[in-house]
Amino acid sequence: MALYGMMTALAFLFGYVESLIPIHFGAPGVKLGLANLAAIVSLYLLGGAAAAGISLVRVILTGFTFGNLSMMLYGLAGAALSLLVMSILKKTDRFGCVGVSVAGGAAHNIGQIAVACLVLESASLLYYLPALLAAGTAAGCVIGCLGGIVVERLSRYSSFL
């Protein structure tokens, strides 16, 4: 239980740090995905259900603290699709941490764009998708590399997990 709390706190902290970093890549919604580091580590060390719970609490806390209801809606859609895709790919054992993370980053962006198109009742937002997918792929690579290192190091202390 303490590890769940620690991962949730880290995800919340990373979300806060990410909100302080101004990133302007010409497309709204592009972020580093630092909070997803906790999700990928949780997925590998604690399982899909734990990662989903940690991500849900993070999105809600971050939304109430630093955002608004629409931000929470987009975050929940992205996190849900991302975790679903990452859980499925992890179970296949065909992808490493980086591949799973890249797919999760892409799925996160697809989920957010899908909700935005539904909310705004317009498919015109799909023109953001290539930029978001490129950013999600790059962020997924970085987060996957970092997540792989953390998972490998924490796995050495399996008695704590």
- How is the chain split into domains, by residue range? 2-160
Query: pLDDT of 116-144, one tens digit each?
Result: 999 999 998 888 889 889 988 999 999 99
Rounded Cα distance between 30 and 17, Å, is: 15
Which CATH number is associated with domain 2-160? 1.10.1760.20
Tokens at 78, concatenated: 């992205």
Query: pLDDT of 66-107, one tens digit each?
Result: 888 888 999 999 999 999 999 999 999 999 999 999 999 999
More confident residue, 146 or 22: 146
Give the predicted TM-score (pTM) of the model.
0.89
In 71-93, which positions are buried (b, 16+ CB within 10 angstroms) versus exposed (e)? ebbbbbbbbbbbbebbbebbeee
Rounded Cα distance between 155 and 4, Å, is: 15
Mean pLDDT, range 28-51, rounded to an integer:
88
Mean pLDDT, range 9-36, rounded to an integer:
80
- What confidence score (pLDDT) does residue 158 get? 67
- What confidence score (pLDDT) does residue 26 get? 63
- What confidence score (pLDDT) does residue 25 get? 62
- What confidence score (pLDDT) does residue 22 get? 73
